[in-house]
Copies of this chain bind each other. A is one copy, B any other.
Amino acid sequence: MKQEIKAQKFNWIDISSPTEHDIKYLKKKFRIHPLVLDELINPSPRPRVEPHKDYLFMVLYYPIYNVKTRETSSRELNIIISKKAIITSHYETIPPLKTLFDNCRFNKQSQKTYLSEETGQLLYYILSAFWQNCFKKLEKIDERINNIEKHIFGGKEKEMVLEISLVKTDIINFWRIIEPQKEVLESLLKEGLEFFGESFLPYFSDVLGTYERVSNALETHKETILALEDTNQSLLSTRINEIMKVLTTFSVVMLPLTLIASIWGMNFSRSLPLTNSPIGFWLISFLMFVVSVIMIIYFRKKKWL
C-alpha cells in the first residue's frame, strides 16, 4: 500500500508491504538501481547505508516487543532519500514512523514542523522518533527489573528464575538489534554530510547521541539483570542446599534406628538377647531414642541442623 504526502520541496512516499506495482512505479519515477528495489521486496540481512549517485539507501531495524510471545523481534525499515523525495518502505507497521506519517498527513502544525524544510531534516525527525521511542521500551524493562528485585527479596527466588531469563533474553535481543546500527549512524554522519552538506552535522550527531544514550541505558540494564541473576542463583542455591542438608540429616538419623529394628528382627531364636524379656521391646525402644538424641545433639553441635 503506497501513501504519498506532497510537501513544498519534496514528496514523502510511504510504502507498506511493497508490491510489484509499487516497485515499477518507483523505478519509473525515480530511476533507482534495480538491486536497491529488489531489497525493498526481499528482507536485507544487515543494517547499512549505501551512497548512490542521486540518493542514499538505508536499511534499519526497529526492535518491537511482542506482549504475547514475550519476545523482542526486529522489523526492517528501508529508506531511499534524494533531494526531491524520501521513500520509506516496510512490511509491518513501524509505530514511531506511522505516528509521524499520520501527523504529517492530518496535522497542519506537524506539517509545518516536519515538512517545511529539506529531506535531510525529515530524515532527522524520522531517525530521532525511531530512537526516542526505544526509551519507552527501556522504561518497561526497567519496571520489570524493579519488579524482579522486589520479588527476589520477598522469597520468590524460584519463580523469578524464568522471569529473569526472559528479561535477560529480551535485553540481549534488543541489544543484538540495535548494536549493529551504531555503524549505520556513524557512516550516515560521513555519507550524510557529503550528501546533504555540513549544516546537517548537528542533526545527525544528535541522532547518534540519542543512540548512545539508548545503548548506555541498555548496558546498565544488562549489568543489573546479570547481577540480579547471580544474586537470585546464590539465594536459591543456599536455600536448596539448606533443605537438602536437613533432609539428608534426617535420613541419617533414621538409618541406625532401622538397623537396630532389623537386628532384632533376625531369626536367632536362641541367641538374640532380650527377645524373651518382658521389657525387651521397651529397652530397645529406649536404645533407639538415645541413639537419635545423641545424633541430633552431635549434628546441632556441628551446626548441620
Contacts and interface: CB of A to CB of B under 8 A. Distances in A.
A139 B46 CA distance: 10
Interface string A259-276: 101111111111111111
A251 interface: yes
B269 A276 contact: yes
Nearest to A222: B227
A217 interface: yes
A243 to B, nearest CB: 5
A230 interface: yes
A216 to B, nearest CB: 7
A180 interface: yes
B176 A149 contact: no
Interface string A222-244: 01100111110111111011111
Nearest to A273: B281
Nearest to A172: B227
A217 B287 CA distance: 61
Contacts of A297: none
A270 B284 CA distance: 13
B268 A304 contact: no
Given A180-B220, A235-B162, A281-B268, A252 B252 contact: no
Contacts of A248: 244, 247-248
Contact of A240 (B229, B245, B250): B245
A39 interface: no
Given A169-B231, A231-B165, A278 B267 contact: no
Contacts of A230: 229
Contact of A274 (B176, B223, B243, B268): B268
Nearest to A219: B179
Contact of A280 (B139, B223, B265, B268): B268
A9 to B, nearest CB: 28
B271 A282 contact: yes
A280 B271 contact: yes
Contacts of A168: 227, 231
A179 B216 CA distance: 9
A249 interface: yes
A45 interface: yes
A301 to B, nearest CB: 13
A172 B224 contact: yes
Contacts of A149: 169
A95 interface: no
A183 interface: yes
